[in-house]
Amino acid sequence: MWGASLTRFLSLSAGQMGEDFISVGRVQSPTLKLIVDKEREIEAFDPDDYWELFADLRKDQTTFEAQYFYEDPADGTEAERVWNEGDADAAFDALRQAGEAVVDSVSRRTRTDDPPAPFNTTQFIRAAGSLGYSAGRAMSIAEDLYTAGYITYPRTDNTVYPDDLDERDLLEAFQQTVFGDDADSLLDQDRLSPTSGDEETTDHPPIHPTTDFPDRNQLSEDEWAVYELVVRRFFATVAAPAEWAHLRVTADADGESLKANGKRLVEAGYHAVYPYYDSSENHVPPVEEGDTLAITDARLDAKQTQPPRRYGQSRLIETMESMDIGTKSTRHNTIEKLYDRGYIENDPPRPTTLAEAVVEAAEDYADVVVSEEMTSQLEADMTAIADGETTLDDVTTESREMLDRVFDELTASRAEIGDHLRTSLKADKSLGPCPECGDTLLLRQSRTGSHFVGCDGYPECQFTLPLPSTGDPLVMDAVCEDHDLHDVKMLAGRNTFVHGCPLCAAEAADESEDRLIGPCPDCGEPHGGELAIKQLQSGSRLVGCDRYPDCEYSLPLPRRGDIEVTETYCDEHALPELVVHDGEDDDPWELGCPICNYEEYQARQRQQGLEALDGVGPKTAAKLESAGVEDVGALADADPEGIADAVSGVSADTIREWQAQAD
């Protein structure tokens, strides 16, 4: 109710309908405000200069690093950063001239490092994020592993194993697997005492592996990496704590204070089975008070304070959780929607101009739209309904009254909101000066849905540039030095790529010469058509017939890399084999005969599951399978209208788009 109503209002106000509508939602808008507020902090940040000093100390034949410190006069605490350059230079000169330092204190202690708690959804996403997986990708893989029966349900708040989980039985199930040695070491412990977290619920257990073990060849590299993470997290929760030995040494160098902190892993504990936490050691040799240490080197590092870090996806989800924004099942999807709708880019997420405009408009005219209190209250109300503390009618009435108040505020300023959003939308699509008239080049979309670059001076100026057909364009910060135009990124899910300067791509195509490689299989015999390697103005490359447009035969080629035409020919098609060289450090890609390569690609696509297609998730795949479409090959041969009638929520045009991917 909230999202649909507000989305329609803002989209109509800004004149943005169709695929370019402005999306608002009771969960996504407060989340977007978090990202925008963080960006504001970064932009407002004014760095301060400071200095840090280090010295290399030597005991016998061992050298270790120590850091300069002093007592902060403001509060008496230990400080390392020197805020005055003159003071830093004076301390640096003193250290260099001292030549030696005398140990004035030595302290030793041991620290117990407890194993982590079991995985709930948020902590799983955080751990997967440290391996480089986005929140959405991590959950997609986890859901696939759950569906296959290898892990438990991945959407859970619970961090306490249920009483009916027998940890010993589960460990024994791994004894004959690649995890067998670790399982044996855990079973050899005197007792198994699993850790527990702060959240205990009864809906689902924490995420852990099941007794069904997959064949390594059944999983992709990403699936195996996530599966191993879940297995090892379970192992860690039943492992012993680790023990660290810490050594702190302070020394005096002609009145200047130095300190060194060493740490050594005495008992590996859970680190032996869970290598995802840092267990690096810092060696400081054993010294005693009164020892004299040689200063072999001194360094003065000039630094600046750093702005706040942007939210990584996992930290953003943790923040959403702490503020009761969304649920365990929706938070990662919310972030994916912000990416898909052009509100955020890059990783960590950074807001686009459109995102900042939407948040500013909401703050100025109806701040409840981006308020976490609003969505938090509605989440609490829904929980109260589930607990029988209130009724659906009461909550619906309260929500409608709140929404009515919001619309009263928005309607009074509809014209101002529309102007503000239109101005920001235009800025978000601006690339730079038109080379023909000096007006602004903008990202545009044709009536058929294809994207291109056009001049804001149209129709007086009709300058245009093509863009790749794959993905939706996004203006980047980087600017071309030759043309003063922003680079363009094409958002295409996992196949997202940087197109670069559109004018550079067009000029490169104009300057490139087609390389003939052999006869066209469609028209070579009757008309003498020849296949050639072609560079298009959109930046794409292909093998196409030199009789185009009379003959439209073509084959795709990689966008990047130098293409070598070898002297080895395909016996079947009389075409030379191609090799792609992409960087000095990468092995060349032996593409082979372009026709054979494409036929092999089509065969692989037909054998892949439906979820390999962009836009097909597990639920949609299940719907298609129930309609008799069990794989990509069956989808390619299906009647789009018939499938659309049989599958709710999927149009015939969408089916055709998937069929185009399958081909």
Q: Where are the alpha helices (DSSP H) in 431-519?
A: 502-511
CA dihedral sign, ordered 326, 327, 332, 334 = negative
Q: Are strands 497-500 and 430-433 parallel, antiparallel or unpaired?
A: unpaired
The confidence score (pLDDT) of residue 54 equals: 97
From 68, 70, 133, 153, the catalytic residue:
153
Tokens, residue 382: 């829904």
CATH entry, 608-662, from 1.10.150, 1.25.40, 2.30.30, 2.40.50: 1.10.150
Q: b/e map of 583-601 (b: 16 or more CB within 10 Å)?
A: eeeeeeeebbbbbebbeee
How many angstroms separate the Cα of 639 from the Cα of each of 315, 431, 627, 647? 45, 41, 12, 12
> What pLDDT does residue 90 have?
96
The structural architecture, per CATH, of the domain 2-45+313-423 is: Orthogonal Bundle (1.10)
Predicted local confidence at residue 394, as pLDDT: 80
Strand-by-strand arrangement of the 576-581 sheet? 562-569, 576-581, 589-592
**Predicted local confidence at residue 83, as pLDDT:** 96
Asked whether the beta carbons of 486 and 503 are under 8 A apart, the reply is: no
- CA 591 – CA 407 distance, rounded (Å): 58
458-461 long-range contacts (CB < 8 A, ≥24 apart) are: 461/434, 461/436, 461/437
Find how far residue 609's CA is from the centre of its chain.
24
Instruction: Return the axis-axis angle of helices 353-365 and 392-412, rounded to nearest 10°.
Output: 100
Walk across the sheet containing 472-479 and list its strands: 472-479, 486-491, 497-500
As a whole number of angstroms, the distance between CA 651 and CA 642 comes to 10
153 annotated active-site? yes
Q: Amino acid identity, residue 84?
A: N
Looking at residue 329, its pLDDT comes to: 78
Q: What's the pLDDT score for residue 587?
A: 75
Assigned CATH topology for domain 49-114+242-304: Topoisomerase I; domain 3 (2.70.20)
Query: What pLDDT is attached to residue 584?
Result: 61
> For each successive 10 residues of the chain (663 residues), what is the average pLDDT?
64 58 73 94 95 95 95 90 96 94 96 95 92 89 91 92 93 93 94 89 88 88 94 97 96 95 95 93 93 95 95 90 84 86 84 85 72 71 76 78 74 73 73 92 82 90 87 86 91 76 83 82 84 81 87 85 86 88 74 88 68 67 78 76 75 71 58
Residue tagged 């899910």 (tokens): 493
Three-state SS string over 234-298 comes to HHHHCCCCEEEEEEEEEEEECCEEEEEEEEEEEECHHHHCCCCCCCCCECCCCCCCCCEEEEEEE
Backbone angles phi and psi of 540, in degrees to 5: -80, 160
At 629 the pLDDT is: 79
Sequence-ordered strand ranges (E) for 315-437: 344-345, 350-351, 430-433
What pLDDT is stored for residue 248 in this prediction?
96
**Token digits of residue 46:** 């004014």
- Would you say the pTM of this structure is higher than 0.75? no
| Cβ pair 590, 566 in contact under 8 A | no
Half-sphere exposure of 23 (CA within 13 A, CB side): 17
Q: What 8-state DSSP symbol labels residue 110?
A: E
Residue type present at position 553 = Y
Task: Answer for the pair 389, 400: CB distance below 8 angstroms, yes or no.
Answer: no
Distances (CA, A) of 283 to 66, 245, 287, 390, 617: 11, 11, 12, 60, 50
64's enclosing H/E stretch is strand 62-71
Fold of 121-237: Topoisomerase I; domain 4 (1.10.290)
Eight-state DSSP code of residue 528: -
